[in-house]
Structure 1
Amino acid sequence: MTGLALAALLLALALVLSIGLGARALSPSEVWRGLTDPASPAYPVVHRMRLPRTVLGLLVGTAIGLAGAMLQTVTRNPLADPGLLGVNAGAAAAVATATWVFGVTDFGGYIWPALLGAGVVTAAGYVVGGGRSATPARLALAGAALNAALFSYVSAVMLLDSKSLEAMRFWTTGSLASAAPATVTSVLPFIGAGIVAALVLARPLNALALGDDAARALGSRPAVIRAASIGVVTLLCGAATAACGPIVFVGLTVPHIVRSLTGPDLRWVLPYCAILAPVLLLGADVLGRVVARPGEVQVGVVTSVVGGPVFLYFLLRRRGKAVRL
């Protein structure tokens, strides 16, 4: 419990920094007046931009962290990530199609195509990777192939249709910049339901991590657990991707860090991921806003720059070693 309390303090610090720092420099007193005084010139900046952006980062980070930990357990692949296995690419391809064909340009129109695309690609990647006999290498290869194909499709749509290019050029890099109160209230039910379902599945996932035979011996039904987990991952990733575009490496990095602190027990891994993943995402977003003032670097770019070396580190460290999930 002490560790969770410290993680919660880190999250509180990340939330404060996300509200207090941005592309426009504000003093702490100006930020406070912007929070409390509707007559303050900083009030629109804080309430219409920074608060929604911070809350959206909290929700999306939690969703991606939980989805990454669940995928790594379900696939028994330590390198599984919603981005690396093509889940985000499926959501992005579906959103690109909705924008191109139906002229959709807001979150309300993105959410259902994103959920459908994430679900279809998650199932396709698992089947192509070998289903129940899938190995980590085959799943990674299937995800890489799907990622390449789907993001090539998204790029083609943006090149062929100028309206899609204008609507999606920032979204495809992964960004919290377009966060609005309406987006937060729309995404909250989907991610909230996914968070509750993920935490409920912690104990069954512990059994599944031991292998299908061991799970059956403990009275669990591996096929049902696996299907429910994939459904929850689809819900979390689809909603998160619809809200701010595809963001990679957060779902890969945070579960590894958490397991080094807690061990493999999902009853601890998932709560820690739910707290520490938004710390990483909000920290990356703050960094992107500060280093390029008065502009900003999109959060998806920052997480890629940070996550790439981390991914290589885990890949090299795990080479030739058994993976404990």
Structure 2
Amino acid sequence: MRAAGLLLSVAVLVLVCLASISFGAKSIPLADVWQGLFAHSGSGNDVIVREVRVPRTVLGVLAGAALGVAGAVMQALTRNPLAEPGLLGVNAGASAAVVTAISFFGVTSLTGYVWFAFLGAGAVSVLVYVLGGSRAANPVRLALAGTAASAALYGYVNAVQLLDSAALDKLRFWTVGSLAAADPATIAKVAPFIGAGVVLALLLARPLNAMEMGDDTARALGARPGRTRALSMLCVTLLCGAATAACGPIVFVGLMIPHLVRAITGPDMRWILPYAMVLAPVLLLGADVIGRLVTRPAELQVGIVTALLGGPVFIQLVRRRRMAQL
């Protein structure tokens, strides 16, 4: 049953990808979309399809998968159903690094932001892991360390923005969360990190299953809680750091999708992770398509759409007794 559901989810993802390529701020006939994909002639519509919409769709799939898997790992690691990737300070670290790059190093391109954002996310994750007690860390200490680091770093980001108006102008689009600046260079830089993070998450599925029953039970089942937490932190850093670097901090996806997936698969991480890998891009790309269509010829950033769509749905789900008890 769960295998059939996963295949159905993949089919839905394919349809959403086709919609992402076919529809946008500019109306392009479907025949021209087909021509742009398979019989490129160099026309304006062909360029939009091949050089704008296809990279945007690919980045949406990668970023969505990264955020969905990172959220599932975070919730299992902290045993907190409200945990999301930003809880470990990953988004704050990336934002602080980007504002530093803009204000002090004069970086202006998205490809330049990627490396700074990823390094910032990684550095803060290491800091949170150390502050949380390293191998002796527990879910509560990790969450508290991440919250403290996020508060301090966002204070730094706000201070730099107030003192440097140029940094504010350049950063505000990135901080909203958007797929609009997708290009092959950015995809090539973040794809290896996302791929490595997804593979690591799948390898951690069994230990994370054991960890959700508590450290003592996990040890009795042969898991090593300290090593599992360290590898999970590395996994979240790879996934969320790369996605945040490329698209900005997109909220809700990593929080909501694991909840929806558990309602389908139950608590087994061996099924939660593949489902999250497929359904999170469905949400992200679907929100991106809606943002492109509702304000034509302008565009509403995907980070805004996911928040507007997801907030009411999430509130309704957590009000249900079954979801509240997860």
**TM-score, reference length from structure 2:** 0.90
Partner of 1:259: 262
| 1:83 aligned partner | 86
Aligned partner of 1:178 among 156, 163, 181: 181
Which residue of 38, 45, 49 maps to 1:46?
49
Alignment of structure 1 residues 55-74 onto 2, 5 Å? 55-74=58-77
Aligned to 2:115: 112
1:215 lines up with 2:218 in the alignment: yes
Which residue pairs with 1:26 in the alignment? 28
1:208-253: CA deviation from partner (whole Å, max 9, x where unpaired): 1121111111111110011001101001111111101000110000
Which aligned pairs between 1:299-310 and structure 2 lie closer than 5 A?
299-310=302-313
Identify the match of residue 101 of structure 1 among 97, 101, 104. Answer: 104
State the partner residue of 2:163.
160
Matched with 1:7 is 9
Query: Which range moves more in the overlay, 232-241 or 166-175?
Result: 166-175
The structure-2 alpha-carbon separation of the partners of 1:321 and 1:55, relative to structure 1 and needing over 3 Å to count, comes to closer
CA contact (8 A) 1:22 1:286 kept: yes
Deviates more, 1:145-154 or 1:189-198: 145-154
Counterpart residue number, 1:273 = 276
One-letter amino acid matched to 1:44: V
SS at match of 1:83: helix
* Counterpart code for 2:191: L
Aligned partner of 1:249 in structure 2 is: 252
Distance 1:84 1:264 in 2: 21
Post-superposition offset of 1:169: 2.3
1:153–1:312: structure 2 CA closer, same or farther, 3 Å change rule?
farther
Q: Distance in 2 between matches of 1:111 and 1:314?
A: 34
Q: What number of residue pairs does the alignment pair up?
A: 321
- Report the alpha carbon displacement of residue 79 of structure 1 after superposing the two structures with TM: 0.3
Moved more, 22-31 or 95-104: 95-104
Distance 1:291 1:144, change over 3 A: farther
Question: Secondary structure, in 3 states, of the residue corresponding to 2:86?
Answer: coil
How far the C-alpha of 1:321 sits from its partner, in A, is: 5.7
**What is the TM-score of this pair, normalised by structure 1?**
0.90
Using the aligned pairs only, state the percent identity: 59
Instruction: Determine if contact 1:215/1:222 at 8 Å carries over to the other structure.
Output: yes
What are the superposed Cα offsets for residues 256-288 of structure 1, whole Å, 9 maximum, x if unpaired? 000000001111000000000000000000000
1:151: how far off? 3.2
Gaps of at least 5 residues in structure 2 are none
2:219 and 2:89 map into 1 onto residues whose CA distance is: 29
AA matched with 2:36: G
Separation (CA, whole Å) in 2 of partners of 1:316 and 1:183: 39
Task: Give me the CA root mean square deviation.
Answer: 2.5
Contact 1:91 1:242 in 2 (8 A): yes
Q: Which digits, 9 at most, give the CA deviation of each residue in 1:18-66, with x for residues without a partner?
A: 0001000111112112222322331110111100000000000000000
Contact 2:259 2:323 in 1 (8 A): no
| Stretch of structure 1 that moved more, 177-186 or 118-127 | 118-127
Distance 1:84 1:135, change over 3 A: closer
Indicate the larger mover: 77-86 or 150-159.
150-159
1:192 to 192, 195, 207: 195
Unmatched segments (≥5 aa) in structure 1:
none
Residues 267-276 or 98-107, more deviating = 98-107
